[in-house]
Amino acid sequence: MRALLGVLSLSLVSASALADGKAVTYTVDGQAYEGYYVSPGSKVPLVLLIHDWDGLTDYEVRRAEMLSDMGYAVFAADLFGAGVRPTAMEDKRQHTGELYKDREKMRALMNGALEAARAQGANTDLAVAAGYCFGGAAVLELARSGAPLQGFATFHGGLSTPQGQDYSTTQGKLLVLHGSADTAISLSDFAGLGTELESAGVPHEMITYSGAPHGFTVFDSESYREEADRQSWKRFATFLDEQLGN
């Protein structure tokens, strides 16, 4: 993990305040990124939050504020670059596709975000990573990298394991929250991950929500399912308490 952080140089020109948090500009491998940091106090446990394929938006900021209200520091990472918030489908596919093809860069960006959070005063020694959709797939990538976090959680995230990778070095428990009606990521994919984690001896919990499609937690969208969102968030809150002891 430390080797990957060698590409990181921080530019802590933290800028505009957003609600109770703030935008944080940092650099990874010479490129600027803009994350969002919010914390209710010093030395509280950290949640590293990874965005969907449209980049870091108001959705992640809202989730970060919800987590801060629960007593956690949150660093919502930026995996695309400062100002890069794609809206067209082809652009979303391009940015996520580039990272799916370059897994080392994906890992470096998440480790860079952790270092940026640490520079803000976050307790990165007591942390959980969580992500939505593309962010969920990225969180599993971080888990497979052996990152020393206490847990990894995915909401309707990508579940496949790239060829040549496995969970043999994973540290921390996995929580996988999935919609049974997801047509993008099937129940077969869900079961396959469960088999893989069990074979690797990785502590995990996997939950499905009936009738919930892909993106079931996204407020004000056609895919939003209030009951599945409520139940999955409740389990996530308990998971954080279990893993971080907040």
As a whole-number percent, the residues of the chain with pLDDT over 70 amount to 92
Tell whether the model's pLDDT for residue 18 goes beyond 90: no
Task: Give Cα 150 to chain centroid, integer Å.
Answer: 14
Number of independent structural domains in the chain: 1
Name 174's Cβ contacts closer than 8 Å, sequence gap at least 6.
Answer: 140, 143, 151, 152, 153, 154, 197, 202, 203, 204, 205, 206
pLDDT in tens, 71-85: 999 999 999 999 999
pLDDT band at 246 (very low <50, low <70, confident <90, very high): low
**What's the pLDDT score for residue 2?**
28
Q: What's the pLDDT tens digit per position in 155-213? A: 999 999 999 999 999 999 999 999 999 999 999 999 999 999 999 999 999 999 999 99
CATH of residue 204? 3.40.50.1820
Predicted structure pTM score = 0.92
- The range of the structural domain enclosing residue 221 comes to 4-244
